[in-house]
Amino acid sequence: MHRALLIDDDVEFGLLVRQYLEPEGFAVEPVYDGTAGLERALAGTFDVVIIDVMLPDVLGFDVLRRLRTRSNVPVLMLTARGDDLDRILGLEIGADDYLPKPFNPRELAARLRAILRRTQRSPESQLVRPARLRVGDVELDRGARVVARGQVPIELTTVEFDLLDALLASAGHVVTREALVRTVLGREFSPFDRSIDVHIANLRRKLGHRDGVDRIKSIRGVGYLYACAGADPG
């Protein structure tokens, strides 16, 4: 059973979600306000945390922001339908994914599974791939799931880590947005969904510039490329 924390003030909604997700392999613990939710989330015993943006005491974003200062646990934001800004804001703060509420519960289960696939990759898949990737001064350790730039560790969320993994693995080549959505977000590409671009923007910010140039280049209308020009060997 995967352990999921649901922070949402609607008690009945929480119970229904728990009932639905149980046969899907998730043990859901509902919490009904942000303060208590943050406390539980920081306890560190959950595989994934689901946060509604609209909470009675604090904004869901604030819960996420505070959580992110101390934990990289995967987070799925439940955003208000019709609010593009909320959605992007959530991803910018470091949510792994979002789902507009109300939603079809099948979609919820699918997104949670996609998030967990990222964090709990099967050991077999690790064997066939190199354990470490190094391009220029950036090094990614697949086993320990850590990234360092010139020996200095960089804090990445799971989705940012996988995004960097995918880009580094094809450094110098364009990776299409479709491919990134499929392999990193684990769902079918849907046009007009800018999630992947927001994650890229976050990753860029965290990686910083190299000689005044972005390490990740946008290829308009196609996708992204990790520039390996000037990379030192090793």
Partner 1 sequence: MAIRSVLAKIVASVVVLLVLVATVSNVATWLFGIPPDDPRNVGFLVRAAAAAVVVFALCLWLARNITLPVRRIGAASQQLATGELTTRVADAFPGRRDELGRLGREFDAMAAQIEALVTSQRRLLRDVSHELRSPLARLSIAAGLARRDASPSASAHLDRVEEEAERLNRLIGQLLALARLDAVVEPSRQTVFDLSEVIDEIAADGDFEARATGRAVRIVATERCLIRGMPELMRSAIENVVRNGIRHTPRGSHVDIALRISSQAGGRRGVISVRDHGNGVPAEAVPRLFEPFYRIPGHSNTEGAGLGLAIAQRAVQLHRGAMSTMNSMEGGLEITISVPLVSDDMPVDTDHPRGKEN
Contact positions vs partner 1 (CB under 8 A): 10, 12-13, 16-17, 19-20, 23, 80-85, 88, 100-106, 178, 189, 191-192, 194, 197, 201, 205, 214, 218, 220-222
Min CB(47)–partner 1 separation in Å: 21
Min CB(19)–partner 1 separation in Å: 6
3-class SS string, 92-145: HHCCCEEEEECCCHHHHHHHHHHHHHHHCCCHHHHHCCCCEEEECCEEEECCCC
Of the candidates 117, 1, 3, 95, the one whose C-alpha atom is nearest the C-alpha of residue 51 is 95
Min CB(14)–partner 1 separation in Å: 10
Please, are residues 54 and 64 in contact by the beta-carbon 8 Å criterion? no
Min CB(153)–partner 1 separation in Å: 23
Q: Choose between 124 and 192: whose C-beta lies nearer to partner 1.
A: 192
Q: Choose between 24 and 141: whose C-beta lies nearer to partner 1.
A: 24
Q: Choose between 143 and 221: whose C-beta lies nearer to partner 1.
A: 221
Min CB(122)–partner 1 separation in Å: 28
Q: Choose between 123 and 221: whose C-beta lies nearer to partner 1.
A: 221
Q: Choose between 143 and 212: whose C-beta lies nearer to partner 1.
A: 212
Min CB(58)–partner 1 separation in Å: 18
Q: Choose between 149 and 204: whose C-beta lies nearer to partner 1.
A: 204
Of the candidates 12, 14, 79, 7, the one whose C-alpha atom is nearest the C-alpha of residue 39 is 7
CA angle 173, 174, 176 (to 5 degrees): 145
Please, are residues 64 and 30 in contact by the beta-carbon 8 Å criterion? no
What 3-state class would DSSP assign to 148? strand
Structure tokens at 224: 């992204």
For residues 88 and 80, give the distance between their C-alpha atoms in angstroms, rounded to a whole number.
12
For residues 1 and 142, give the distance between their C-alpha atoms in angstroms, rounded to a whole number.
24
